[in-house]
Amino acid sequence: MYIYTVNTPRLANQSMASDHERLLALTAFDDTKAGVKGLVDAGVTAVPSIFHHPPECLPAADAELHHLTIPVIDLASDSRVALVAQVKAAAQAVGFFQVVNHDVPDDLLAEMLASVRRFHESPVETKRAYYSRDHRRRVQFNSNFYLFQSPAASWRDTMFLQMPLPASEEIPEACRAVAPEYARQVQRVGRALFELLSEALGLDPSYLEEETMCLDRVNIGGHYYPACPEPHLTLGTSRHSDASLLTVLLQDTVGGLQVLVDDDKWVDVPAVPGALVVNVGDYLQLMSNNRFKSVEHRVVANSVDSRVSVACFIAPNPSSARVLAPIVTGDGAVARYRSTTVDDMFRYYRNRTKALNGTSALQHFTI
């Protein structure tokens, strides 16, 4: 960060002192290895300043949500043509949709949510064994992936699982019995969605799967949002888009997920029984050459109850040299993005100094 000191030495010194104090507070929080849940268990009645978001980033008390309804798509539709058209329209217009009749058993959905809750509500001594910020670890628990880079911390803890794991014993006991099967089911749903999206682009149904070779792995983020004593000061998750091809989300009934439309209006994504929420990620927006939208979304904090969600990120291996290139079809069509490797794109995401601040990383790859 650059601080201009000409004619304002006192202000610069104040800013440096403030930055130092913030770093100390972030480090002290991280060193507990207990996450936001640890703060709540300790009985905090006020949100620490490291979690305070600027007022312009927070939901206004009198703000009106957009009237748009997030599409709900029945995957058991009798008409393939109609199904492709629905997925295409949702991916183009909103970038978010929910799917029902996906054949993932209801009891598996319920148990996956319950297992994530069990992990996060287990004793802190149990969770500390998994606490890490090393992205190379295939099992991690931490609070705020970009804790030291983000302008403000969010009221959320996460357990990460890079599936499949070589040995099930690596998976925390709370979700060991359910996570592998859930990951397999999401892979199956992801394959069906890739086929529909490929057809929506006018391509062979197998195109996206063969071009990306990423359905053999699913990264699971088991998120826990504790009830917040001052939800008007913070967010559960800051405004961002996903570094994925697709994200498949399972959410409980608490609510709080919102999608940005028309650049300045937010839409609630309601909990639909048995549904999975699907959103286009940045990688797919690049590959579709802007035809499919990777939209920004956030989770608002609440004071009533803890929220649990399970996000499955379908994306190539971050260290892959596989090239992501825009699919340019149609008369007069031109590439909107430059081709890039998965490795280069992922490294750019990780090295951004203002992660999760509402600035799309895709701008870096725009032609």
Inter-residue contact 268 to 96 (CB < 8 Å): no
Helix, strand and coil percent figures for the chain, each rounded to 5? 35, 20, 45
- CB crowding 192-214: b at 16 or more within 10 Å, else e: bbbbbbbbbbeeebebbbebbeb
The answer to whether residue 2 is domain-embedded is no
Categorize the per-residue pLDDT at 21 as very low, low, confident or very high, splitting at 50, 70 and 90: very high
Question: Using 50, 70 and 90 to split pLDDT, how confident is the model at 17?
Answer: low
pLDDT in tens, 170-197: 999 999 999 999 999 999 999 999 999 9
63 falls within a domain:
no
The 3-state DSSP class for residue 310 equals strand
Is the model's pLDDT at 221 over the cut of 80?
A: yes
In which band, very low, low, confident or very high, does the pLDDT at 332 lie, cut at 50, 70 and 90?
A: confident
| Of the candidates 51, 34, 49, 66, the residue with the CA atom closest to the CA atom of residue 262 | 66
- As a whole number, mean pLDDT of residues 337-353 equals 86
Q: Does 62 reside within a domain? A: no
Containing H/E element for 13? helix 9-32
Q: Distance (Å, rounded) from C-alpha 115 to C-alpha 122? A: 10
Per-residue pLDDT, 136: 87
- Helix (H), strand (E) at residue 284: helix 282-287
Residue ranges of E strands in the chain: 72-74, 96-100, 139-142, 157-163, 218-225, 235-240, 246-251, 257-261, 265-268, 276-280, 297-300, 307-314, 323-324, 340-341
Amino acid type, 361: A
Would residue 4 count as lying in a domain? no
Domain of 221, in residue numbers: 9-55+68-365
Q: Cβ atoms within 10 A of the Cβ of 140, count?
A: 19
Average pLDDT score over residue span 73-85 = 97
Q: What percent of the chain has pLDDT over 90?
A: 80
State mean pLDDT over 325-338: 88
Comparing 80-89, 237-246, 280-289, 354-363, the range with the smallest average pLDDT is 354-363
How much is the average pLDDT of 69-82?
Answer: 97
Mean pLDDT within 18-31 = 95
For 201-229, what is the mean pLDDT?
95
State the average pLDDT for the chain: 91
The pLDDT confidence band at residue 356, using thresholds 50, 70 and 90, is: low
Q: Is 61 within a domain?
A: no
HSE-CB at 49 with a 13 A cutoff on CA atoms is: 7
Amino acid occupying residue 66: H
Q: Which residues make beta-bridge pairs with 247?
A: 279, 313
The stretch 291-313 carries a mean pLDDT of 97
Specify the pLDDT at position 62. 67
The answer to whether residue 60 is domain-embedded is no
Residue 310 confidence class, pLDDT cut points 50, 70, 90: very high
Which helix (H) or strand (E) covers residue 30, if one does? helix 9-32
Query: Is residue 8 pLDDT above 60, yes or no?
Result: no
Q: What is the CATH number of the domain that holds 344?
A: 2.60.120.330
**Percent of the chain at pLDDT exceeding 70:** 92
Q: How many separate domains does the chain show?
A: 1
Higher pLDDT, 150 or 48: 48
For residue 206, give the amino acid letter: S
Q: Is the pLDDT of residue 4 over 70?
A: no
Q: CB–CB of 302/254 below 8 Å?
A: yes
Which pLDDT score, from 0 to 100, does residue 287 have? 96
Residue 30 in tokens: 């991280």
Contact predicate 175/108, CB 8 Å: no
pLDDT at residue number 359: 64
Condensed to tens digits (0 to 9), the pLDDT of residues 255-265 reads 999 999 988 89
Q: How confident is the model at residue 330 (pLDDT cuts 50, 70, 90)?
A: confident
Tell me, yes or no, whether 211 lies in a domain: yes
What is the DSSP code string of 117-179? HHHHTS-HHHHHTTB---TT-SEEEES-TTTTTSSS--S-EEEEEEESPS-GGGS-GGGTTTH
Contacts for 281 with CB less than 8 Å, ≥ 6 apart: 241, 242, 243, 244, 245, 246, 247, 294, 313, 314, 315
Q: Does 222 reside within a domain?
A: yes
pTM: 0.92
| Tokens of residue 294, six digits | 């990777």
288-306 burial, b at 16+ Cβ within 10 Å, e below that, comes to bbebbbbbbbbbbbbeeeb
Residue 357: per-residue pLDDT = 54
Beta bridge partners of 142: 158
Six-digit token pair at 80?
């393939």
Instruction: Give 320-326's long-range contacts (Cβ < 8 A, gap of 24+).
Output: 322/212, 322/213, 324/212, 324/283, 324/286, 324/287, 325/287, 326/286, 326/287, 326/288, 326/289, 326/290
Give the mean model confidence (pLDDT) for residues 245-267.
94
Least Cα distance to 132 among 30, 40, 226, 38 occurs for 30
Q: How far is CA 347 from CA 28, 160, 225, 351, in A?
A: 27, 19, 28, 6
- Range name among 7-16, 164-173, 222-231, 309-318 with the lowest pLDDT average: 7-16
Backbone angles phi, psi at 352, to 5 degrees: -60, 135
